[in-house]
Amino acid sequence: MNNEEVSNTPRTSVKISWNHGGKQVAIVGSWDNWETSEVLQSIGKEFITIKTLSSGIYHYRFMVDGWLTCAPDLPWVCDDAGNSYNILDLMTPASELPESLSEFEFPPSPPSSYDNQCFNDDDFSRPPPDLPPQLRETVLNEPSCCTSGSSVRVVQPSTH
């Protein structure tokens, strides 16, 4: 591929992160035939890098404190020799995002959903709304078995 072909190929920026400990974390991958090792930036307990790549499927490995490994929480495969590699699938096209929010058409909101009109006397002269039917039939409206001033008598079954 010459430089002109590479510049016309759509590219995607992806964040690759490692959050499984270590003091120094780097990444190597098939995007450059495993030729270079790139040190990830430490942000708190996470190590990250942003890669801008053409569409394709890439294999990569992390080098954590000198040991090659893969992240167990990211998609990975194991080759015939038992080496594990993480997979980065950039073949699935990203959803087409509009260039600006002006392309969106927001549904109109009714004024009552955002206005702050003051109450007037008419609002206070109306009776309260009726109780919903499901609340009329709840246990809360049943007479209590133990009312104040009454006594409860426990009756034992007869034994004769």
Q: Where residue 32 sits, what CATH number does that domain have?
A: 2.60.40.10
Residue 127, domain member (yes or no): no
Phi/psi at 101 (5° precision):
-70, -15
Phi/psi at 135 (5° precision):
-80, -20
pLDDT at 133: 76
pLDDT at 141: 54
Residue 54, domain member (yes or no): yes
Residue 149, domain member (yes or no): no
Average pLDDT on 140-154 reads: 51
Tally the domains of the chain. 1
- Tell me the range of 73-77, 116-120, 141-145, 148-152 where mean pLDDT is highest: 73-77
Residue 154, domain member (yes or no): no
Determine contact, residues 22/42, Cβ cutoff 8 Å: no
pTM of the predicted protein model: 0.53
Range of the domain at 83: 3-89
Instruction: Report CA-CA distances (Å) from 23 to 62, 73, 124, 125, 127.
Output: 13, 19, 67, 71, 69
Spell 44-54 as b/e; 16+ CB within 10 A means b: eeebebebebe
Residue 160, domain member (yes or no): no
Q: Read off the pLDDT of residues 81-130 as tens digits, 9 standing for 90 and up.
A: 888 999 999 885 555 555 555 555 656 666 655 666 677 777 778 887 78
